[in-house]
Amino acid sequence: MQAELKLVERELNIRNYSPKTIKSYLYGLKEYFNFKKQNFRNLDQEDIKNFLLACQNKKVSPPTRNLFLNAIKFYYRDVIKINQKIDIRTAKKNKKLPVVLSRQEIKQILEVTNNSKHRLLLSLAYGAGLRVSEAVNLRTADINLEELTIHVKQAKGQKDRISVLPQKLVNDLKNLTAGKSKIDFVFTSERGGQLTTRTAQKVFENSLKKSGIRKAATFHSLRHSFATHLLENGVDVRYVQELLGHQNIRTTQLYTQVTNPILKNIKSPF
């Protein structure tokens, strides 16, 4: 098994897949190999279907099952070089609306965040629509305080994009990055190293709890709120798509269901 996983890891690295994707693919293939037990190179679609069914029975989410399937396809197509088509459709994803915080709720969360660096972290994630990984990977050179832009580098899908920087955060960012070199991380841990994504998520969780807001929000809800509030302000959905770095506009259009003013103005007949 290890020999096969090493081959997959090498091919993923050659193709410049992100460390997160590599880790996920290797995990998925390890689960598949453990299920298959032997003859890993023998492509049997019934084996794959039974594996995915076993994952479903274990309550593995549809997105994770789809990731496992993509990893299996990559193994047979790009590593073992088997041309046989794997004719298995991906699992249907649950269409849940994103959890969005109101402007007042964002304000409440920031007000109870006493640590100034933590408050700036959450403010910037909301104000620029950053994913948690993008926020902790931000370096001082990525921020243009004069042009009020942020260069988000090697984000999801290994893509760069430009997002907006709120004017009201300029002075706080100047103070935080004073004396730092261009390659230094904007947000660091107490020991001086890079802030971890889990620490950033914990910061949000603690502030959410202190605020008393009962929504099932996560750090990513700051990004959801950024998109929704831009649409409420009348910004064209195509520009919001660019700021978020969405490949497909349908992903961005999901926020229009949350912010539809016509629906919100309808009164119940009860």
Strand order in the sheet with 149-152: 143-144, 149-152, 161-164
Active-site annotation holds for 220: yes
Give ∠ CA 240-244-250 in degrees, rounded to 5. Answer: 70
Helix (H, G, I), strand (E, B) or coil at 125: helix
Q: What is the C-alpha separation between 260 and 264, in angstroms, rounded? A: 7
Q: What is the C-alpha separation between 101 and 232, in angstroms, rounded? A: 13
Active-site entry in 118, 223, 224, 229 = 223
Active-site annotation holds for 65: no
Evaluate whether 136 touches 122 at the Cβ level (below 8 Å): no
Evaluate whether 223 touches 163 at the Cβ level (below 8 Å): no
Evaluate whether 230 touches 243 at the Cβ level (below 8 Å): yes
The full set of domain ranges for the chain reads 2-79, 103-260
Active-site entry in 131, 174, 214, 239 = 131
- CATH topology of 2-79 equal to that of 103-260? no
Model pTM score: 0.76
Q: What's the pLDDT score for residue 261? A: 66
Active-site annotation holds for 131: yes
- CATH for 2-79 is 1.10.150.130
Active-site annotation holds for 118: no
Fold (topology level) of 103-260: hpI Integrase; Chain A (1.10.443)
Active-site entry in 117, 139, 156, 210 = 156
pLDDT means per 10 residues, the chain with 270 residues, are 92 90 95 93 93 93 93 94 89 81 96 96 96 94 94 81 94 93 91 89 97 95 94 90 89 80 74
Q: What's the pLDDT score for residue 262? A: 65
Active-site annotation holds for 224: no
Tell me whether residue 161 is exposed, middle or buried, using C-beta atoms within 10 angstroms of its C-beta: 0 to 12, 13 to 18, 19 or more: middle
Active-site annotation holds for 223: yes
Q: What is the C-alpha separation between 148 and 71, in angstroms, rounded? A: 39
